[in-house]
Amino acid sequence: MATQGRRRALGQHFLKDKTIANQIAETAVTAAIESGCKALLEIGPGKGAITLPLIELLKKTPLPFIVSERDPVLVQEWQFQKSAGAADPLEFNIQPGDFLELPEAQWLSQTPLAVASNLPYSAGTAIVVRLAKFHQKIPVMVLMFQAEVAKRLRAHSSTKEWGSLSVWIQNRWDVEKLVSVPPGAFIPPPQVDSEVVILRARKEPRIAVPEDAKSEAQWETLLKVCFAHRRKMLRSGLPPSGPWRNALELSGVDGTKRSEALSWDEWRRLYEALRSKE
């Protein structure tokens, strides 16, 4: 009972629906092969609902399999499975620890890399943001989120789900829904619906943000500032101090618009105007 309580504290809801698990595994392996990936990573294998079908599929390919698991009890179980030959002849690497704290070299050594996961609700957004920054090395991801987060990732402009995360992700990724997942598909069942999405790295970003720390931070801050008061017009919602209002004027973007209504061209103009004020 103590173990079960600790796992609930970790935010773990174990997938039990075999049809959905197989669909995720088949989609991930097919996408990995089509994208020319050299390895596949699963974050949080848990009790193996997705992992076991992944292993069986990957045995038929030359792709090495990496799993990242933070629960030490489950790490031991997977290490036992490996020693017992459950994944033979597959190259099967187990990386213990919180994925958000794992050094990149431990999971990003073989690229291009595909990713599949039933992400924990508490860390799903943080994990996808970390992964998405490696769009040049990760061409495809098949990920399950709380439905609310998934809808934000694949949202369209001028909808209530459209926000800074939507713009940031979709600048470099195409996102599509794979399947809805009801609470009854898990043990224990969560109180919310889930959704699986496929993220594919774009060959070219919609807005060419230079890939250095300063430029990336500037782009992320612009999005957060613009969406901080999303129900207000830009000219009244932007902070009175700082470069934001000057950038708005210089860009020629209509200041009576709300951030959720901006087109990709308008986001580009805003960002380029902000950079020109440096």
Task: Sketch the domain layout of the chain as residue ranges.
Answer: 2-201, 213-276
Domain 213-276 has CATH 2.40.33.10: no
Fold identical between 2-201 and 213-276? Answer: no
- Topology (CATH level 3) of domain 2-201: Rossmann fold (3.40.50)
Using a cut of 0.85, tell me whether the model's pTM lies above it.
Answer: yes
What is the phi-psi region of residue 85: left when phi exceeds 0, alpha when psi lies from -120 to 50, beta otherwise?
left
Asked if residues 187 and 14 have their Cβ atoms less than 8 Å apart, the reply is yes
- CA dist 260 and 167 (Å) reads 10
What's the distance, CA 119 to chain centroid? 9
Cα angle 62, 51, 33; round to 5:
35
Per-residue pLDDT of the chain (278 residues; tens, 9 = 90+): 233 444 444 457 899 999 999 999 999 999 999 999 999 999 999 999 999 999 999 999 989 999 999 999 999 999 999 999 999 999 999 999 999 999 999 999 999 999 999 999 999 999 999 999 999 999 999 999 999 999 999 999 999 999 999 999 999 999 999 999 999 999 999 999 999 999 999 999 999 999 999 999 999 999 999 999 988 999 999 998 889 999 999 999 999 999 999 999 999 999 999 998 76
The Cβ of residue 186 has, within 10 Å, a number of other Cβ atoms equal to: 19
Residue 80 CB partners (closer than 8 Å, separation 6+): none
- CA dist 102 and 202 (Å) reads 26
Asked if residues 219 and 251 have their Cβ atoms less than 8 Å apart, the reply is no
The amino acid that residue 111 corresponds to is: T
- For strands 65-69 and 92-96, give the pairing: parallel
Asked if residues 200 and 132 have their Cβ atoms less than 8 Å apart, the reply is no
- CA dist 171 and 157 (Å) reads 13
- CA dist 10 and 128 (Å) reads 18
Alpha helices (H) along the chain: 2-9, 18-34, 51-58, 72-83, 124-132, 147-153, 164-172, 213-227, 234-237, 244-251, 264-276
- CA dist 107 and 109 (Å) reads 6
Output the CA–CA distances (angstroms, integers) from residue 64 to 55, 132, 173, in the order listed: 10, 21, 24
Asked if residues 207 and 264 have their Cβ atoms less than 8 Å apart, the reply is yes
The Cβ of residue 221 has, within 10 Å, a number of other Cβ atoms equal to: 14
